[in-house]
């Protein structure tokens, strides 16, 4: 009887002390999945790497790349995506993910090369790559293809937005630097009003007008020294305003570019860079 | 007889399950605690999160949340620390645990300089009948909270009235005595340009202000005396007034900056040389 | 129109990302945050270094102006860099003539008190950011920063 007791104690102590083995591969994976879904990606990656030492798992390998890319660590994401084997069920996904990371890393030459091969492949995500490439083209300095062919890969509901972007890119609402300068030369301040710096335009008009008037009256009342000082200041404001109007047009155009680029970037973010939805965390 | 021994066997079987399960959790907690004492806070948090994940019965909820909070606090990640101290507070099983998590929440808020929040928490504790015996400790942190709100006089009062810590009380008193009065500096300069600057020890700037104000004041008044009203208005408005208001702004600025230096010297002492408990 | 809606979306998006555990996306160590209070006043940086011919005349004049006038008068330039620093920097980056012309333009902007909040990014607590690089007429130097953004150099 006593022997049986001892046996049970011994057995159960072995069995149950292992009941929560924190470092068993299954438990590591369970914990890592929890961290992954809690957006605690760096810790999740550490745990997944530990798990991979013991078990070869395609899904986990792929999830590591997604974790890196969720933390905007494109460099590591690209490295890890390169390790996904052709036999992995996530091979196709890894290609479009790679394209996304290359885009975010701004490695243009590689990005377009990879995009082309992916578009011409029989991949499930060939069209996604096509859409990502064309949207990226909107942000580059290269000439855009014809509108009809440019819009081909996009879904119906995307076509309107993309078409708007296309038109903006072809005909940006720039202000002419030369016109701004000429306008200000004719009527001080009008160049700045043309570039929509209304306050600055009116101020320039008033300042130039004020000093011209002061110079004029002082000349009339025979105060030549004062008159020349005021005349010089007036001339300074006049020339400064012509210069400033040209600069203002440049800044206006920089703003147009900036807002266009931000718009396209937000569109891309909104579309998750045309990568598929995985639903790893339901 | 047989059934009885079977029952005993079952009982042992059952109790062992829970005992050993708990002991592995216990071990895990000890492991995390070790990482914490070795200042490996990031890893400590990982292990504590692992503990929480497998601690289905929430046996370690308070301890793990509390230690995660302390780890984040040590890494100066105050937002997260406050979050986890609050979780610890919600999972506390007795008054002591509740009190400790509240106090740590307040201390983190003091460091984060969200002193209003800290004040609210500490006052809640002070008015809680369960913690009458801990009034001294609460007041100690109320004092520190005043230090971090830059209210040294109030801090002195708290430390002094409750006979908490003579070093701190003395320090707060000295700082409060050394502080310049910003309003006094300003009003001095209203009366005599440059006087506020002299009060704060900025003699060069004070002299310059005084000089400009005398010059333009004279020119303005002179213009009016000589009936050149237009000149008077122009000089008075664009020159005298400009240097007069600049003089007041400077007096205020110097007083504030000098006070900042005094505060920072004391804060530096508190951070690196003061040996008592700090937030 | 497209852009405005998307801005709203982006703000929501950033907010959502921010509330998740971003703190732990990089390994961190123990850290002792300083108890010290921050000085919110911009300190005057006197600079008498001579790097070009024009500096021989411009720098002493500007520094004397800072010392005797600017630091003791009450008119605080709302911009960063201040008008006088803007003059020094623009002369340094272009030439005396263009620098002076740029200064007149800056002075016009300084005089106009309307619409600043909608026009300039913010610098520190009380200043608008208006750097020289926007006005040298070299387009590649223009780094557009949207209004109301906080700039920390």
CB C78 within 8 A of CB C127: yes
**What percentage of chain B has pLDDT greater than the value 90?**
80
Q: What is the mean pLDDT of residues B58-81?
A: 95
> What was the pLDDT predicted at A2?
59
For residue B272, the 8-state DSSP code is: H
Q: Which of B125, B158, B191 is the last residue of a domain?
A: B158
Provide the mean pLDDT of chain C.
Answer: 83
B143 and B195 both lie in a single domain = no
Enumerate residues 22 to 51 of chain A having a beta carbon within 8 A of any beta carbon in chain B. Answer: 22, 27, 30-31, 34-35, 40, 43, 46
Provide the domain limits for residue B229.
182-270
> What was the pLDDT predicted at B234?
84
> What was the pLDDT predicted at A18?
45
- Total count of domains within chain B: 2
Q: How far apart are CA A168 and CA A166, in angstroms?
A: 5
Q: How far apart are CA B202 and CA A68, in angstroms?
A: 56
Q: How far apart are CA B202 and CA C32, in angstroms?
A: 34
Question: Residue B33 has which token pair?
Answer: 């605690």
Q: Which chains touch B (3 or more CB pairs under 8 A)?
A: A, C
> What was the pLDDT predicted at B1?
46
Report which secondary-structure segment, H or E, holds C29: none
> What was the pLDDT predicted at A21?
87
> What was the pLDDT predicted at B10?
53
Q: How far is B74 from chain A (nearest CA, A)?
A: 19
CB A236 within 8 A of CB C100: yes
> What was the pLDDT predicted at C18?
47
CB B193 within 8 A of CB B242: no
Enumerate residues 31 to 70 of chain C having a beta carbon within 8 A of any beta carbon in chain A. Answer: none
Is the model's pLDDT at B249 over the cut of 80? yes
Name residues whose C-beta falls within 8 Å of residue A97's C-beta, 6 or more positions apart in sequence: A65, A66, A69, A77, A81, A275
Among A16, A27, A41, the strongest candidate for a mutation testing the B interface, having the largest count of B CBs within 10 A, is A16
Is the model's pLDDT at A63 over the cut of 70? yes
DSSP string covering A64-96: HHHHHHHTT-HHHHHHHHTT--TTSTTHHHHHH
B195 and B154 both lie in a single domain = no
Residue B164 lies in a domain: no
Q: What is the mean pLDDT of residues B95-116?
A: 96
Q: What is the mean pLDDT of residues B80-102?
A: 95
Residue B192, CA distances (Å) to B250, C76, C85 in order = 13, 22, 31
User: What is the separation of C-alpha A213 from the centre of its chain, rounded to a whole number of angstroms?
Assistant: 52
Q: How far apart are CA A46 and CA A42, in angstroms?
A: 6
> What was the pLDDT predicted at C52?
79
ipTM score of the complex?
Answer: 0.81
Is the model's pLDDT at A150 over the cut of 80? yes
pLDDT confidence of B3, banded at 50, 70, 90? low
B248 and B199 both lie in a single domain = yes
Is the model's pLDDT at A6 over the cut of 90? no
B146 and B210 both lie in a single domain = no
**What percentage of chain C has pLDDT greater than the value 90?**
36
pLDDT (tens digit, 9 = 90+) per residue, A243-275? 999 999 999 999 999 999 999 999 999 999 999
Is the model's pLDDT at B164 over the cut of 50? yes
B146 and B190 both lie in a single domain = no
Among A165, A266, A268, A269, the strongest candidate for a mutation testing the C interface, having the largest count of C CBs within 10 A, is A266
Least CB–CB distance from C68: residue in B208, B270, B271: B208
Residue B278 lies in a domain: no
User: What is the separation of C-alpha C107 from the centre of its chain, rounded to a whole number of angstroms?
Assistant: 15
Q: What is the mean pLDDT of residues A37-64?
A: 94
Sketch the domain layout of chain A as residue ranges.
177-266
B24 and B126 both lie in a single domain = yes
Is the model's pLDDT at C16 over the cut of 50? no
Q: What is the mean pLDDT of residues C61-86?
A: 86
Subunit contact B242:C24, Cβ cutoff 8 A? no
> What was the pLDDT predicted at B4?
60
> What was the pLDDT predicted at B143?
95
Residue B33 lies in a domain: yes
pLDDT (tens digit, 9 = 90+) per residue, A201-256? 999 999 999 999 999 999 999 889 889 999 999 999 999 999 999 999 999 999 99
Subunit contact A20:B5, Cβ cutoff 8 A? no
B141 and B252 both lie in a single domain = no
Q: How far apart are CA A111 and CA A83, in angstroms?
A: 18
| pTM given for the model | 0.83
> What was the pLDDT predicted at B2?
52
> What was the pLDDT predicted at B138?
95
CB A131 within 8 A of CB A154: yes
Is the model's pLDDT at A19 over the cut of 60? yes
**What percentage of chain A has pLDDT greater than the value 90?**
84
> What was the pLDDT predicted at C40?
80
Q: What is the mean pLDDT of residues B202-208?
A: 94
Q: What is the mean pLDDT of residues B149-154?
A: 94
> What was the pLDDT predicted at C69?
87
Please say whether the dihedral angle defined by the alpha carbons of residues B75, B76, B81 and B83, taken in this order, is positive or negative: negative
Contacts of B42 in chain C (CB under 8 A): 24, 27-29
């Amino acid at each position: 009887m006593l022997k049986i007791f001892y046996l049970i104690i011994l057995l159960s102590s072995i069995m149950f002390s292992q009941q929560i083995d924190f470092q068993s591969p299954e438990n590591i994976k369970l914990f890592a999945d929890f961290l992954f879904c809690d957006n605690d990606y760096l810790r999740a990656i550490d745990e997944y790497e530990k798990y991979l030492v013991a078990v070869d798992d395609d899904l986990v390998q792929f999830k590591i790349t997604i974790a890196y890319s969720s933390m905007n660590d494109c460099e590591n994401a690209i490295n890890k995506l390169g390790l996904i084997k052709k036999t992995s069920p996530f091979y196709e996904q890894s290609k479009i993910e790679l394209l996304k990371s290359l885009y975010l890393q701004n490695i243009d030459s590689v990005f377009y090369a990879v995009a082309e091969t992916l578009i011409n492949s029989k991949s499930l995500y060939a069209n996604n790559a096509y859409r990502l490439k064309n949207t990226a083209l909107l942000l580059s300095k290269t000439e855009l293809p014809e509108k009809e062919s440019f819009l081909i890969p996009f879904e119906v509901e995307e076509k309107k937005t993309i078409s708007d972007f296309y038109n903006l890119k072809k005909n940006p609402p720039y202000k002419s630097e030369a016109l701004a300068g000429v306008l200000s030369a004719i009527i001080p301040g009008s160049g700045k009003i043309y570039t929509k710096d209304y306050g600055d335009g009116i101020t320039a008009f008033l300042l130039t007008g004020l000093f011209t008037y002061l110079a004029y009256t002082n000349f009339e009342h025979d105060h030549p020294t004062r008159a020349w000082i005021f005349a010089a200041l007036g001339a300074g404001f006049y020339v400064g305003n012509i210069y400033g109007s040209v600069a203002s047009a440049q800044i206006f155009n920089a703003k147009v570019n900036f807002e266009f680029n931000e718009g396209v970037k937000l569109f891309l973010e909104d579309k998750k860079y045309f990568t598929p939805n995985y639903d790893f965390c339901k | 007889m047989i059934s009885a021994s079977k029952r005993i066997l079952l009982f042992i079987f059952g109790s062992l399950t829970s005992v050993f399960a708990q002991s592995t959790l216990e071990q895990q907690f000890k492991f995390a605690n070790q990482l914490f004492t070795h200042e490996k806070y990031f890893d400590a948090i990982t292990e504590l999160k692992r503990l929480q994940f497998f601690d289905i019965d929430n046996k370690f909820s308070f301890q793990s949340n509390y230690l995660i909070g302390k780890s984040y606090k040590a890494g100066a990640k105050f937002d997260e620390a406050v979050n986890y101290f609050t979780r610890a507070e919600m999972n506390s099983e007795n008054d002591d645990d509740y009190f400790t998590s509240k106090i740590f929440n307040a201390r983190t808020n003091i460091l984060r300089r969200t002193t209003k929040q800290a004040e609210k928490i500490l006052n809640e504790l002070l008015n809680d009948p369960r913690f009458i015996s801990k009034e001294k400790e609460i007041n100690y942190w109320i004092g520190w909270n005043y230090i971090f709100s830059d209210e040294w006089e109030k801090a002195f009062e708290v430390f002094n009235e409750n006979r908490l810590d003579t070093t701190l009380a003395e320090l707060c008193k000295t700082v409060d005595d050394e502080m310049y009065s910003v309003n006094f500096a300003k009003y001095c300069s209203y009366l005599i340009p440059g006087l506020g600057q002299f009060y704060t020890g900025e003699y060069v700037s004070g002299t310059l202000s005084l000089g400009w104000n005398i010059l333009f004041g004279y020119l303005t008044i002179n213009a009016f005396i000589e009936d050149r009203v237009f000149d008077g208005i122009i000089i008075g408005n664009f020159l005298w007034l400009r240097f007069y208001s600049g003089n007041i702004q400077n007096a205020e600025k110097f007083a504030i900056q000098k006070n900042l230096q005094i505060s920072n010297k004391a804060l530096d002492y508190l951070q690196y040389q003061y040996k008592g408990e700090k937030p | 129109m497209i852009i405005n809606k998307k801005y709203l979306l982006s703000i929501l998006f950033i907010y959502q990302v921010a509330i998740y555990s971003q703190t732990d996306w990089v390994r961190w160590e123990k850290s002792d945050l300083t108890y010290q209070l921050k000085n919110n006043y911009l300190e005057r940086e006197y600079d008498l270094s001579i790097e070009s011919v024009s500096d021989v005349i411009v720098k002493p004049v500007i520094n004397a102006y800072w010392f005797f006038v600017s630091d003791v008068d009450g008119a605080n330039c709302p911009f960063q860099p201040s008008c006088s620093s803007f003059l020094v920097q623009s002369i340094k980056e272009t030439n005396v003539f263009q620098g002076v012309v740029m200064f007149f333009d800056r002075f016009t902007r300084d005089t106009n008190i309307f619409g600043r909040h909608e026009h300039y990014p913010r610098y520190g607590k009380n200043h608008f950011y208006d750097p020289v690089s926007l006005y040298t007429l070299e387009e590649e130097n223009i780094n557009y920063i949207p209004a109301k953004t906080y700039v920390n150099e």
